[in-house]
Amino acid sequence: MWSTRDPVTLLGAFGVANSGWNEVSEAFRWVASRFSNCTAYEFELVAAGVSGDLAYTVGYEHSSLSVDDGPVEPNNLRVTHVYRRENGEWKIVHRHGDRLPSNRGPFVDASKEKE
């Protein structure tokens, strides 16, 4: 799924910020060592687009899993992926993921919130 050709970047929900395939793949191994017991996964697409050899998706990842051998709990992330066409195949070249703010659900217009 991922390109191994630079530039490749990761801004992960666990606070990792990596650039280059060596750093990104190392971050994936570290994150994978912390997750287990995934019992559910769903990707909720919000928007997508393509222009030439670049494309993007924006959405929410909903899963249930264990972190650091803890109990299985819901895990919800906002995610953006950028794709690059390489040899006729789409490969991910950037991922940004973060947790939903605890006081907001999806699609809240922050400009209309009261302080």
Convert the pLDDT of each residue in 34-56 to its tens digit: 999 999 999 999 999 999 999 99
Give the 3-state secondary structure of 30-45.
HHHHHEEEEEEEEEEE
Residue 22 corresponds to which amino acid?
N
Is the preceding peptide bond at 74 cis, omega within 30 degrees of 0? no
Q: Has residue 96 been placed in a domain?
A: yes
Whether the predicted pLDDT of 112 surpasses 50:
no
Longest dimension (CA), the chain: 50
- For strands 9-11 and 89-99, give the pairing: parallel
Answer yes or no: pTM beyond 0.85: no
Number of structural domains the chain divides into? 1
- Residue 61 domain boundaries: 9-103
**What value does the CA radius of gyration of the chain take, rounded to a whole number of Å?**
16
Does any domain span residue 110? Answer: no
Q: What is residue 102's predicted lDDT score, i.e. its pLDDT?
A: 62
Residues 70-108: pLDDT tens digits?
999 999 999 999 999 999 999 999 999 999 876 444 444
Residue 30 lies in a domain: yes
CATH code of the domain containing 73: 3.10.450.50
- What is the mean pLDDT of the segment spanning 10-31? 92
Q: Quick check: is 4 in a domain?
A: no
Kindly indicate the confidence band of residue 109, based on its pLDDT and cuts at 50, 70 and 90. Answer: very low
